[in-house]
Structure 1
Amino acid sequence: MDEIKLAFKSSDEHGAQETMPQMYNVPELHNQILQLLNAKFSDHSLMVLQEELRLMQRSSYFLEIQRDDLLPSEQLQQHTLHLSDSTVWSLIDQRRLQRAMALAHGQVKLLLSLLAMLCQEIIGGCRQLEAFILQCDQGSVDSDMAASTQQTLQQTLQYRKDFEDRMTRNLGPLDLDNQLIPNTGNFPIPQLSASLAIKMPVVFERNASRTTSDTVHLSWQVAGSHSKEPNQQFEIHVKSLHPTSLEHGHFTKSTCQSYNILVNSLLPDRFYQFSVKRVDSVNLVYGLWVDTIVLKTLDK
């Protein structure tokens, strides 16, 4: 069966043409879907899409405050204010800031939920398209299946486009109800806007880890980045696994600005759990990811 006749609705003479047939070339639809399953919807492409989603879910999201009242000549560089600055902190109304933080947190959760839903719909759509190819090869395609598959194809393509758009779209600005700095009328206040900034997750470089009987050398990187951004702070946790009664579950925490650390004073022939994360900051609105690795020190 090469062609399927389907009812369709035209924008012109809608009522009169409501039952007029539309010709579906099944071999053409089959080839179009097969090309997509071998390229845009291949298993590899779906794995990449899922990895992009995981990176977004593991990333850290921060509230950024920018000046909006500067002259164009002054905007040669991005004027981002840091909430850790004591002057900025003293000017900003804390209740308004907390509302902005809550708004930003909700927007991140909404974005991640939407991306997860789109990813699930794309994978589900691909499975339906694969089933259609199998049915075509068996010669058991009817008009209802062709119509349903055509709709699934268009929806899956749209879901993929929406996913890609959301992955590249700017996360800000946030639509705040009030200015973060209240106008008291005593002096001009800077006009501020808020937006979301994203930083990719921190992951251990497992192949670069080295152990001796009493030390472990750890290295990490920012996922998807080929360069190491300066002035970044990381928090390292060290925990002894299966400790003796004398060790009492030995646990240490330290911070550093480099992308590696040497952990000393460990016991030989012991398992240790190491964790790395970004140091929490006052403008962090969402960040759950902590990378963990278990290593064993060498025996003497």
Structure 2
Amino acid sequence: MDEINMACTSLEDCGAHNTQIDPLQDLGNEILQLLCTRLNDDCIMTMQEGLRLMQRSSYYLEIQGDDLPPTADEQQQTVHSYNSTVWSLVDQQRLRRAMTLAKTQVKLHLTFLGLLFEEIIRGSQELEAFVLNYNRGLVDSDIAAPTQERLHQTHQYLNAFESRLNWKLGPLDLQNQLIHNTGGLPIQLLSVSLAKKMPVIFNRFETRTTSNNVHLCWEVACEQSQELNQEFEIHVKSFHPTIAEYCQFTKSTCKSYNIEVNNLIPDRYYKFSVKRVDSVNLVYGLWVDTLILKTLDISKSEQAVSN
């Protein structure tokens, strides 16, 4: 990008001494405008992080009723009871088809986002190469048309990526209702949609290790406050005597955003993993955050204290 900034200055200097219209220079200026705004390093990093969050998120199938009461604290039990009733009436064969459809929709969306990002990066590299070669006098008018087309395509890819990155997971278009015998429940008020939850990640700064204890903390990406009624699954796997050889494995669940793992062996590597507890309506969610830590060596700790 430093070379591009230098090229920008060079293009302006060329224009100051050239009284004739130069279509290649105009094209170069258009490209520089894009490279310095929507395709600068910060923007590309933001797009990459947005794509990573989408790929690591968990996606759920939700059955909703338009007549559900507001989700105020005092009405949570009513909503839970309503949803439990709805799920108990769902036809399992139709539910499996809906889950498959939803999973396919999520995977296609994520794959398309990934392909768009690859095309954006490829376009950025080609456009940057054009500017640098123009500045060195290595391009001619024959390359103007394909470069103009690549510029147009890159604009389109950027617009498509940005719009799909904020994809609103709306209702699914199902051929059949999930409930064929409602027992008086109004079918027309039910809808099926996809919901997204951001990935769970360890908070490396809050995690602490002793010789036989590890305090683990985690959070949900991009969320400022902890969501209520969340349940997490924590895996602990030890390595003995090194990380090349697995040993003991344990699994536990908790409803908080931290846990104390006790009775560990000093001077040993442990692999910790955290994710949300799988639920019946989970459609797609591959991301599991992992962390490898080594418990402290007691002898070294005691020696350090004595010194």
Fold-level similarity (TM above 0.5): yes
Which residue does 1:298 correspond to in 2? 296
Structure 1 residue 141 displacement after superposition: 2.4
Moved more, 25-34 or 89-98: 25-34
How far, CA to CA, are the matches of 1:262 and 1:290 in structure 2?
Answer: 19
CA shift in 2, pair 1:63/1:225, >3 Å: same
2:221 matches 1:255: no
Q: Write out per-residue CA displacement over residues 82-123 of structure 1, whole angstroms, 9 at most, x where no aligned residue.
A: 699553232111111111111100000000010001000000
Equivalenced residue count is: 274
Which residue does 2:187 correspond to in 1? 190
Instruction: Map 1:1-300 to 2 at 5 A.
Output: 25-68=23-66, 70=67, 86-183=84-181, 187=184, 189-191=186-188, 192-243=190-241, 249-300=247-298
Provide the secondary structure at the position in 2 that maps to 1:207.
coil
Q: Supply the RMSD in Å over aligned alpha carbons.
A: 2.7
Provide the secondary structure at the position in 1 that maps to 2:247.
coil
Provide the secondary structure at the position in 2 that maps to 1:179.
coil
How far, CA to CA, are the matches of 1:50 and 1:234 in structure 2?
Answer: 27
CA shift in 2, pair 1:81/1:117, >3 Å: farther
How far, CA to CA, are the matches of 1:266 and 1:272 in structure 2?
Answer: 9
| Structure with more of its chain in helix, by fraction | 2
How far, CA to CA, are the matches of 2:191 and 2:241 in structure 1?
Answer: 50
Q: Is the 8 A contact 2:89 2:181 kept in 1?
A: no
Provide the secondary structure at the position in 2 that maps to 1:180.
coil
Provide the secondary structure at the position in 2 that maps to 1:220.
strand
Q: Is the 8 A contact 2:212 2:265 kept in 1?
A: yes
Q: Write out per-residue CA displacement over residues 273-292 of structure 1, whole angstroms, 9 at most, x where no aligned residue.
A: 10001110000000001110
CA shift in 2, pair 1:28/1:63, >3 Å: same
Which residue does 2:3 correspond to in 1? none
Structure 1 residue 77 displacement after superposition: 5.5
Structure 1 residue 252 displacement after superposition: 0.8
Q: Is the 8 A contact 1:236 1:254 kept in 2?
A: yes
How far, CA to CA, are the matches of 2:289 and 2:82 in structure 1?
Answer: 26
TM superposition score normalised by structure 1: 0.84
Provide the secondary structure at the position in 1 that maps to 2:49.
helix
How far, CA to CA, are the matches of 2:194 and 2:104 in structure 1?
Answer: 11
How far, CA to CA, are the matches of 1:169 and 1:153 in structure 2?
Answer: 25
Q: Write out per-residue CA displacement over residues 172-219 of structure 1, whole angstroms, 9 at most, x where no aligned residue.
A: 2100011111047x6454332111111111111112110111100011
Q: Is the 8 A contact 1:183 1:189 kept in 2?
A: no
Which residue does 1:14 correspond to in 2? none
CA shift in 2, pair 1:181/1:284, >3 Å: same
TM superposition score normalised by structure 2: 0.82
How far, CA to CA, are the matches of 2:145 and 2:52 in structure 1?
Answer: 34
How far, CA to CA, are the matches of 2:117 and 2:81 in structure 1?
Answer: 35
CA shift in 2, pair 1:188/1:298, >3 Å: closer
Structure 1 residue 226 displacement after superposition: 2.0
Provide the secondary structure at the position in 1 that maps to 2:137.
coil
User: Gaps (5+ residues) in structure 1?
Assistant: 4-22
User: Gaps (5+ residues) in structure 2?
Assistant: 1-10, 16-20, 299-307
- What amino acid maps onto 2:33 in structure 1? Q
Aligned residues: percent identity? 60
